[in-house]
Chain A
Amino acid sequence: MKLKINGHSVEVTSDPDTPLLWVIRDELGMTGTKFGCGLAQCGACSVMLDGKVARSCVTPLSSVGAAEVTTIEAVEADPVGQRVVEKWIAHQVPQCGYCQSGQVVAATALLKENPKPSRDDIAAAMVNLCRCGTYNRISDAMLDLAGLGTAKDGETL
């Protein structure tokens, strides 16, 4: 089966029912996309399919078809993704970091679709879980990226 991923077309041999997450991690050897729950609950496995965020742990390989898959490894190749990464660093968002590939991908997908999201748009899109409690800084980074200024009502670094 052919898979378009990060600007390349590759042949993959995993069973068509295999979740895209495990094709990416095991067969293609890219470990930036994380396994957290396997149930589309946490979002650590977020990737983009044709620019839209998808939870790869519940996305069967067979359902990907001709869609272009973008993983965290290629996020910086995209100017929007590059901005997200810059702001993630500027706001010192990650702690343990395990959920952050998914957070960065979700942020990039939102901003590619809507470069000027409102606070509500951000809240609706940024739903991935973080156990370290980086939510305030994710919010700060997103407000900054959306041109809504940095939050002044909480802790900033």
Chain B
Amino acid sequence: MKDNDPVLMEDVAEGAPRNLSRRQFLVTSAGVASGALVIGMGIPLTPARAAGTDQMAPGTNVPAFLEIRPDNRVRLLSPFNEGGQGIFTGMAQIVGEELDADPESFIVENAPAGHDYLVVFGKMRITGGSLSTRSSYDTMRRLGALGRQMLLEAAAAQLNVAVDSLTTEPGQVVHTVSGQKIAYGDLAKAALDLPVPDPKSVKLKDPKDFRWIKQPFKRLDVPDKATGKAIYAMDCKVEGMLHAAVQHAPRLGLKPGDIRNLADVQAMKGVHSVHKLDGAVAVVAERFWVAKLGADALQVDWQEPTEAEKAKIRYMPADFSTEAFARHLTEAKGDGTEAESHGNIKTAFDGPGKVISATYHSQYVHHAQLEPASTLARFNADGTLDIWLPNQAPEQFQAQIAKVAGLKPEQVNVNSPLLGGFFGRHFLYPGANPYPQAVALAKAVGRPVKVIWTREQEFLRDPLRPMAAVRFRGALDASGMPVAIEAISATEGPSEALRGHNPKKVDSNAVEGLTGKAYAIPNRRIAQIYVKNPTSLAYWRSVGHSMNDFLYEGFLDEMADAGGKDPYDLRMTLLKGNARLTNLLKAVGDLSGGWKRGPFTAPDGTRRARGVAMASPFGSEAAAIAEVSIDPAGKVVVHDVWEAIDPGSIVNPALVKLQAMSAATLGVSQVLMEEVIYKTGEPEARNYDLYPILPPDRAPRIHVRIVESGAQMGGVGEPPLPAVPAAIGNAVSHLTGKRVRSMPLDKLTLAT
């Protein structure tokens, strides 16, 4: 058996009818089959070819990215990990376009850690920030073009003709005069041994000649995901591996003291050993279920840290409650540190028109990706460490894992399997990644160990989207038009939570979505009052926008109502002269069949209303309209969401629509039902029973229109989220006549 072969018992796994064809396939096409089996394992390409590459600019060392097999299939090592967003397919389209190879012939895996893969603006590598395509589009096109050039040069040498007498057709080099053709697969070995040409020497295609970019190309990963063959970190295994389960300290910062029933747990059938770790106790066993039973049974005396220890970590106090913390945020004093200002906020509120004010709240939310965190670690005889873990930043993890393991980074082989959802969950977060546990345990037991966090342990350590209380003030002129808006957010941003707070600076991730709004309100001031959160904080899909656009767009509707304006018309007026955004707002209005706010009675007799909201996240623009009613139990029903999204320009319209539907659905989930509640220092919910996420029967129909304004390419994965909760909140406020100023709506008592 190969390491990580997902099919241990092939006969059982495959079922008889497929067995024969499968084996046949293995025999006839071994390379491809084994590639498919280990997809996501990030096995480096030929080391000799990739060696000595540190001098090359990231994204140019063709052999570190591409392998073209004798059967013409192309294996691409992607700098970005696939977690449902479709990036493996997008990368195949982009590289395939310039390589002149059908993206359908691509096998895409996540690349190992390495300098060559730092293609995010040519200097870093994360799968996040909705950065993948927009930060690497030109680089990855150029990579494909360089590969094509190398194939042309190899063909020229083989045919003994001039390079400029050759061209390509998909998958082959063509000698135009003689009509001779050579398949890429027959040239690849010679081609990839050639020096990589100067990146400036290759010319990229004219977009009008694109064959695959802009097409709604189908996802390459779908067949494996529809048949259970896709491999996630959770599924990885190596020979001789032990399993581990942990019991985390109930509060971050506590340390394991005595284990009262240690002997009993050690004596449990199948238990290998019990280990005290940093903030956790682990049980190692031959099988996971035994380890889990052992970890659950442990009776640990958890010890408070010393004051000195508390200062170094994010210590969770025993009396922390989210209810009290929300009050604390509301009561935060002062004008805060300025993040954005325009006009004169001091005099703007002295005019003759109305002044309104309100305080809005955001809640803690979980990532709640379906695949809980896990890590498999194996120390090798040569001193290296192989590690398999879900991650959005291989080089960053490599550096930290090396520190924990006492190795050099280059001794740590980071394998990044497919992500079972991420939404910001799999960055480096102190206390929230299982790799320190897996490394410590593998070291302690001298065998490979896979640590799996149960859902309960996952929710106990999942870092959260921040809470905020935002104080809004708005001034209207005599005609009811907004002339001033001030928003002061009492919160802590995820970036300052992770990298340290600078008292002179605002964490842009804390206020984005309050800042950067496009409305022409002449006087405005956005500020942050830093209030440290006891919980661990994280990036959550669309980060600050995920809460702030809900807050801002809600208050904007309040200003519209106070001024007697329709909220759609008001937005259109405030965007006058902004062709990109007025087009977008018009597009979503059209998509919804023409703006109508309601309330109105639907054909089924329900009383309904619509809300509208906009957001400018991650370089893209979004506008959403939602239609809601209230069911007899007082719960919000979201019937339809219409969303227009303008990422400037796009690669694959099908992927953009998928991401818009996905992000919109997560937005619906957040606004309707999600909230992490802490009492006495611990989260109330440890599983989906008490932290429900959107079930299918509450999912609205989602309608998407892509608008390509031609502006600079923006992000796609996160931008469609933030406008959706706001549109829903605005629709509910209008329908019920009661202003919604916090999420989730399920906790409100609503009636029409």
Interface residues of A (CB under 8 A from B): 5-8, 10, 14-15, 18-19, 22, 25-39, 41-42, 44, 71-77, 85, 88-89, 92-101, 104, 123, 126-139, 151, 153-155, 157
Query: Which residues of chain A have C-beta atoms less than 8 A from B83's C-beta?
Result: 96
Closest chain B residue, CB of each to CB of A128: B696
Is the Cβ of A123 less than 8 Å from the Cβ of B697? yes
A29-B13, A30-B8, A126-B696 are known; give 6 further A-B pairs, CB within 8 A.
Answer: A29-B6, A31-B234, A33-B228, A77-B18, A96-B84, A155-B701
Most buried by B among A5, A28, A38, A98: A98
Is the Cβ of A131 less than 8 Å from the Cβ of B421? yes
User: How long is the Cα–Cα vector from A80 to B688 in the complex, in angstroms?
Assistant: 31
Query: Which residues of chain A have C-beta atoms less than 8 A from B665's C-beta?
Result: 132-133, 135
Asked if B687 lies at the interface with its beta carbon under 8 angstroms from chain A, I say: yes
The 24 listed contacts between A and B (C-beta, < 8 Å) are A6-B12, A8-B12, A15-B289, A29-B13, A32-B13, A34-B370, A34-B420, A38-B455, A71-B228, A72-B227, A96-B84, A96-B369, A96-B422, A97-B221, A98-B371, A104-B228, A130-B370, A133-B662, A133-B664, A134-B661, A135-B699, A136-B699, A154-B702, A157-B658
User: How long is the Cα–Cα vector from A16 to B231 in the complex, in angstroms?
Assistant: 28
Asked if B657 lies at the interface with its beta carbon under 8 angstroms from chain A, I say: yes
Closest chain B residue, CB of each to CB of A157: B654
Most buried by A among B85, B222, B226, B234: B226
Query: Which residues of chain B have C-beta atoms less than 8 A from A92's C-beta?
Result: 218-219, 222, 654, 658
Q: Which residues of B in the span 437-474 have a Cβ within 8 Å of any Cβ on A?
A: 452, 454-456
Query: Which residues of chain A have C-beta atoms less than 8 A from B11's C-beta?
Result: 8
Query: Which residues of chain A have C-beta atoms less than 8 A from B702's C-beta?
Result: 133, 136, 154-155
Tell me which of B14, B219, B696 contacts A138 (CB under 8 A): B696
Is the Cβ of A29 less than 8 Å from the Cβ of B9? yes
Is the Cβ of B688 less than 8 Å from the Cβ of A129? yes
Query: Which residues of chain A have C-beta atoms less than 8 A from B234's C-beta?
Result: 31, 34-35
Is the Cβ of B288 less than 8 Å from the Cβ of A96? no
Closest chain B residue, CB of each to CB of A96: B84
Q: Known: A30-B7, A95-B662. Is A155-B226 also a contact (CB below 8 A)? A: no
Q: Known: A98-B232, A123-B697. Is A76-B227 also a contact (CB below 8 A)? A: yes
Is the Cβ of A123 less than 8 Å from the Cβ of B696? yes
Query: Which residues of chain B have C-beta atoms less than 8 A from A42's C-beta?
Result: 370, 688
Is the Cβ of B657 less than 8 Å from the Cβ of A157? yes
Query: Which residues of chain A have C-beta atoms less than 8 A from B287's C-beta?
Result: 14, 18, 22, 26-27
Is the Cβ of B221 less than 8 Å from the Cβ of A94? yes
Is the Cβ of A129 less than 8 Å from the Cβ of B664? no
Interface residue total, chain B, C-beta cutoff 8 A: 80
Interface string of B17-60 (1 = CB under 8 A from A): 11000000000000000000000000000000000000000000
Tell me which of A14, A129, A137 contacts B695 (CB under 8 A): A129
Is the Cβ of A95 less than 8 Å from the Cβ of B455? no
Q: Known: A35-B452, A37-B455, A96-B420. Is A88-B16 also a contact (CB below 8 A)? A: no
Q: Which residues of B in the span 657-712 have a Cβ within 8 Å of any Cβ on A?
A: 657-658, 661-666, 669, 687-689, 693-697, 699, 701-704
Tell me which of B227, B454, B654, B697 contacts A85 (CB under 8 A): B227
Is the Cβ of A129 less than 8 Å from the Cβ of B693? yes
Query: Which residues of chain B have C-beta atoms less than 8 A from A154's C-beta?
Result: 640, 701-703
Query: Which residues of chain A have C-beta atoms less than 8 A from B15's C-beta?
Result: 6-7, 73-74, 76-77
Asked if B418 lies at the interface with its beta carbon under 8 angstroms from chain A, I say: yes
User: How long is the Cα–Cα vector from A101 to B223 in the complex, in angstroms?
Assistant: 11
Interface string of B198-240 (1 = CB under 8 A from A): 0000000000000000001011011111111111101101000
Asked if B243 lies at the interface with its beta carbon under 8 angstroms from chain A, I say: yes
Interface residues of B (CB under 8 A from A): 6-9, 11-18, 83-86, 216, 218-219, 221-232, 234-235, 237, 243, 269-270, 287-290, 368-372, 418-423, 452, 454-456, 640, 654, 657-658, 661-666, 669, 687-689, 693-697, 699, 701-704
User: How long is the Cα–Cα vector from A89 to B701 in the complex, in angstroms?
Assistant: 20
Is the Cβ of A97 less than 8 Å from the Cβ of B225? yes
Query: Which residues of chain A have C-beta atoms less than 8 A from B289's C-beta?
Result: 14-15, 18-19, 22, 26
Tell me which of B223, B370, B456 contacts A44 (CB under 8 A): B370
Is the Cβ of B370 less than 8 Å from the Cβ of A36? yes
Is the Cβ of A96 less than 8 Å from the Cβ of B228? no
Tell me which of B221, B270, B421, B455 contacts A39 (CB under 8 A): B455
Is the Cβ of A94 less than 8 Å from the Cβ of B225? yes
Closest chain A residue, CB of each to CB of B16: A7
Query: Which residues of chain A have C-beta atoms less than 8 A from B6's C-beta?
Result: 29-32
Is the Cβ of B226 less than 8 Å from the Cβ of A93? yes
Most buried by B among A18, A28, A41, A77: A41
Is the Cβ of B697 less than 8 Å from the Cβ of A98? no
Chain B nearest Cβ from A126, distance in angstroms: 6
Closest chain B residue, CB of each to CB of A86: B226
Query: Which residues of chain A have C-beta atoms less than 8 A from B696's C-beta?
Result: 123, 126-130, 135, 138-139
Tell me which of B14, B229, B666 contacts A133 (CB under 8 A): B666
Is the Cβ of B13 less than 8 Å from the Cβ of A39? no
Q: Known: A32-B227, A34-B370, A153-B701. Is A96-B418 also a contact (CB below 8 A)? A: yes
Is the Cβ of A73 less than 8 Å from the Cβ of B228? yes
User: How long is the Cα–Cα vector from A133 to B423 in the complex, in angstroms?
Assistant: 12
User: How long is the Cα–Cα vector from A31 to B231 in the complex, in angstroms?
Assistant: 8
Query: Which residues of chain B have C-beta atoms less than 8 A from A77's C-beta?
Result: 15-18
Query: Which residues of chain A have C-beta atoms less than 8 A from B695's C-beta?
Result: 127, 129
User: How long is the Cα–Cα vector from A127 to B688 in the complex, in angstroms?
Assistant: 13
User: How long is the Cα–Cα vector from A74 to B15 in the complex, in angstroms?
Assistant: 5
* Nearest 7 A/B pairs, CB to CB: A32-B228, A29-B8, A133-B665, A97-B225, A96-B84, A98-B420, A72-B228
User: How long is the Cα–Cα vector from A101 to B228 in the complex, in angstroms?
Assistant: 5
User: How long is the Cα–Cα vector from A77 to B13 in the complex, in angstroms?
Assistant: 11
Query: Which residues of chain B have C-beta atoms less than 8 A from A15's C-beta?
Result: 269-270, 289-290
Is the Cβ of A30 less than 8 Å from the Cβ of B662? no
Is the Cβ of A36 less than 8 Å from the Cβ of B455? yes
Is the Cβ of B7 less than 8 Å from the Cβ of A29? yes
Closest chain A residue, CB of each to CB of B659: A95
Q: Known: A26-B288, A28-B12, A139-B696. Is A96-B370 also a contact (CB below 8 A)? A: yes
Tell me which of B9, B222, B699 contacts A94 (CB under 8 A): B222
Chain A nearest Cβ from B239, distance in angstroms: 12
Is the Cβ of B699 less than 8 Å from the Cβ of A133? yes
Chain A nearest Cβ from B329, distance in angstroms: 28
Is the Cβ of A37 less than 8 Å from the Cβ of B222? no
Query: Which residues of chain A have C-beta atoms less than 8 A from B657's C-beta?
Result: 155, 157
Is the Cβ of B216 less than 8 Å from the Cβ of A157? yes
Chain B nearest Cβ from A85, distance in angstroms: 5
Tell me which of A5, A44, A95, A127 contacts B658 (CB under 8 A): A95
User: How long is the Cα–Cα vector from A126 to B695 in the complex, in angstroms?
Assistant: 10
Is the Cβ of A100 less than 8 Å from the Cβ of B216? no
User: How long is the Cα–Cα vector from A120 to B422 in the complex, in angstroms?
Assistant: 32
User: How long is the Cα–Cα vector from A68 to B658 in the complex, in angstroms?
Assistant: 36
User: How long is the Cα–Cα vector from A145 to B232 in the complex, in angstroms?
Assistant: 28
Is the Cβ of B7 less than 8 Å from the Cβ of A131? no
User: How long is the Cα–Cα vector from A104 to B12 in the complex, in angstroms?
Assistant: 19
Closest chain A residue, CB of each to CB of B231: A31
Query: Which residues of chain B have C-beta atoms less than 8 A from A133's C-beta?
Result: 661-666, 669, 694, 699, 702
